[in-house]
Structure 1
Amino acid sequence: MHLTSGTDDLTTAANLLRAGELVALPTETVYGLAGDAGNPDALRAIFQAKGRPADHPLIVHLAAAEQLPAWAAVVPEAAWRLASAFWPGPLTLVLPAARTVSPLVTGGQTTVALRVPAHPVFQAVLQRLGRGLAAPSANPFGRISPTTALHVQRHLAGRIAAVVDGGPCPVGIESTIVDLSGDHPRLLRPGRITAEALAPHLPPILTTDATAPRVPGMLDSHYAPSKPCYRIPIDLHESPFPDRRPGLIATRPVDWPVARFWPMPAVPEDYASMLYSVLHQADGSDCDVLLIALPPDDSAWIAVHDRIRRAARSL
């Protein structure tokens, strides 16, 4: 079922979710495959629809920060500071899970990932529903995340009850994830909200390590097209696949022939906003191999580099 962002359709979406059905909803990051986070049958259906491993935790989306104590056993002061600064928005906090949280949500861990989305469509559905929604990206597990309703329909049609079309997702990549479940905050997944933006609100941030909780989107291969996809330096002097039809995604052209060229912005936020949409286009093209020229290697591009590294293999 294709729903619009009109009032009646949003009520229909909320009623479907209340009945345990799955509905794809737009967030400011990517489209999420939403199900009632308190309904075990809905949670199992999310894993089945995506082909998602059972130990891969889900992010619970809430209407407001005030709902944190219902889901987290402990809400440290740092969580309230970050919520005040960045919610609603593309930031996920990992906290000790309340005992009432299903292990289907946590992936069997003692922590839970929580965020308050900023997209008005998702917020409107949350307000109508009155409960938290688990919502991983609305795509087959490991494949390119969807940033339009059409992306969802192409890959999950027949597996879910409905998709609500809220237009393209403006941020375009998944949320930043910060772990506050231990003694020191840890940045587990980079996103639009950078470590530099987080720093004034936290003690020094550690990068992830072997003791960090499992969180979504951290497999070595993720966000990947179905076609072979490789990352290359922008200054590569010759085609790595001279006998094939390469498609190139880059901020500027190269000096050797390509079958298709998708120009990308030179501003990291704009690049991130376009990345998955362009990957979907490239994956549906007549090219038989995809090449992503790496953007600048500096801190502003960390989130983009992370998504490219998981989507594309090295040569």
Structure 2
Amino acid sequence: MDTKIIKIDKSNIDKKLMIEAGDIVKSGGVVAFPTETVYGLGANGLDENAVKKIYEAKGRPSDNPLILHISSIEELDDLVEEVTDLAHMIMKRFWPGPLTIIFKKSRIIPNIITAGLESVAIRMPSHPIALELISLSGVPIAAPSANTSGRPSPTNADHVVEDMYGKIDMVIDGGSTGVGLESTVLDLSGEVPTILRPGAITLEDLKEMIPNIIQDASILHKDVTPKSPGQKYRHYAPKAEMILFTGDIDDIVNKINTSTKELILSGKKVGIMATEETKDKYEDGVVIVSGSRRKRETIASNLFKTIRDFDHADVDIILAEGVELDNIGMAIMNRMTKAAGGKIINL
């Protein structure tokens, strides 16, 4: 399959090219497109055959549900059984934006979208290219991240091309994404509002409006039957083994330095995922800076790119600094824990 790559300026959208992309979705094709979180791999969410192409391109297990993307709240009426007052309040505050909400699904939602669950995950992205594509296609777009299943999510078009060229119809190159981590997933389909996946909309943000909100126990622990995308299977994996270090940052730096020397002596090429505050404290290894500990949103934005950079550096092992678990730190550590396959050293 020939994959067409088009460049779109989000500040000056080429309507003719976007109509072409929308027509591909309408006709059952697959288009990768930028959102404010990561690039999505989009197809008509009401067309089972089109959605199958997403799973095939990604190599994604069929029991891992997908998120439907819409361009207006009115589109919810046909897709869900009920929109509660709480849901309306949350959407008014956080939509469009990096928040996915789980509702009880309507009968028109194919089972392939929900992996047989009675609930469906829906979000309205804020990225202008994403909104334009959804609007022009005239259907809700099913769109997981546009990467090979298990690999780091793509935050620019080059990442998408690396994983998806020849497998899908089109890639819309809209530049780098902003948030860099997938959306927060909030389950409103049960009795207790629950965060199933942390993201840029944090527990602290949501608790202001939902005092009884809880976080799912699987976020930093053992995986469970998926009610949300990203809850099952190893995700974000680099080609090399990755070990995550947590605790006091000085202890982390000392341990990584010691471990690096030992690994180099054993013949390993070592990568160190550092931060701006620690980069000069490492004596050996391939040091790549993910962002600043004082501005952890920069770590979130760069995390998946950093993992791919280590792949390109052909390291044998990655030693990574953890961050504090409050605010967006929870989302960062959720992704890093999965990338490391649960290999964590607590100091």
TM exceeding 0.5 = yes
- 1:297 offset after TM fit, Å? 4.1
Percent of aligned pairs sharing the same letter:
35
Q: CA RMSD in A?
A: 1.7
Q: Which runs of 5+ in 1 are unaligned?
A: none
1:255 Cα deviation after fit: 4.0
Q: CA deviation at 1:200?
A: 2.4
Determine which of 265, 269, 293 is the counterpart of 2:292. Answer: 265
Query: Match for 1:4: what amino acid?
Result: K
Matched residue, 2:258:
238
Q: 1:221 aligns with which of 213, 218, 234?
A: 234
Give the drift of 1:247.
Answer: 1.1
Is the 8 Å Cα contact of residues 288 and 306 (structure 2) preserved in structure 1?
no
Give CA deviations for 1:87-118 in whole Å, capped at 9, x if unaligned.
00000000101011100011100000000000
What are the within-5 Å matches in structure 2 for residues 39-58 of structure 1? 39-58=47-66
Q: What is the letter of the counterpart of residue 76 of structure 1?
A: T
Mapped partners of 2:306, 2:168: distance in 1 = 24
Q: Is the 8 A contact 1:239 1:256 kept in 2?
A: no
- Identify if the C-alpha distance between structure 1 residues 227 and 88 changes in structure 2 by more than 3 Å, giving closer, same or farther: same
Matches of residues 137-216 of structure 1 in structure 2 within 5 Å?
Answer: 137-208=145-216, 214-216=227-229
Read off the aligned partner of 2:344 and give its amino acid letter: S
| Change beyond 3 A, Cα 1:104–1:113 | same
Deviations for 1:29-74, whole angstroms, at most 9, x for unmatched residues? 0000000001111011111111111111000000012211211112
The whole-number CA distance in structure 2 between the counterparts of 1:182 and 1:220 is 24
CA distance 1:67–1:57, change in 2 (3 Å): same
Q: Is the Cα contact below 8 Å between 1:238 and 1:255 reproduced in 2?
A: no
Q: Which amino acid aligns with 1:127?
A: S
- Whole-angstrom distance in 2 between the partners of 1:220 and 1:156: 20
The normalised TM-score by structure 2 is 0.87
TM-score, structure 1 normalization = 0.95
Look up the match of 2:7: 4
- Work out whether residues 274 and 287 of structure 2, in 8 Å CA contact, stay in contact via their aligned partners in 1: no
Code of the residue aligned with 1:123 in structure 2: it is: L
Matched, 1:63 2:61: no
1:310 paired to 2:310: no
Partner of 1:103: 111
Q: What secondary structure is seen at the aligned counterpart in 1 of 2:259? A: coil
The runs of 5 or more residues in structure 2 that have no matched partner are 9-13, 219-223, 247-251
Correspondence for 1:248 = 272
Name the SS for the 2:258 alignment partner. coil
Query: How many Å apart are 1:172 and its aligned residue?
Result: 0.3
Residue by residue over 1:118-156, the C-alpha shift from the partner in whole angstroms, topping out at 9 and shown as x without a partner, is 000011111111210000000111110000011000111
Deviates more, 1:204-213 or 1:127-136: 204-213
Q: Which amino acid aligns with 1:258?
A: G
Partner of 1:285: 313
Cα distance in 2 for partners of 1:88, 1:23 equals 21
Residues 80-91 of structure 1: pairs in structure 2 closer than 5 A: 80-91=88-99
SS of aligned partner of 2:208: helix
Aligned equivalents of 2:290 and 2:115: distance in 1? 39
2: CA distance, partners of 1:138 / 1:14: 17
Is the 8 Å Cα contact of residues 64 and 226 (structure 2) preserved in structure 1?
no
Q: Structure 2: how far apart are the matches of 1:218 and 1:130?
A: 29
Instruction: Name whichever of 49-58 and 246-255 sits farther off.
Output: 246-255
> How many residues are treated as equivalent by the alignment?
315
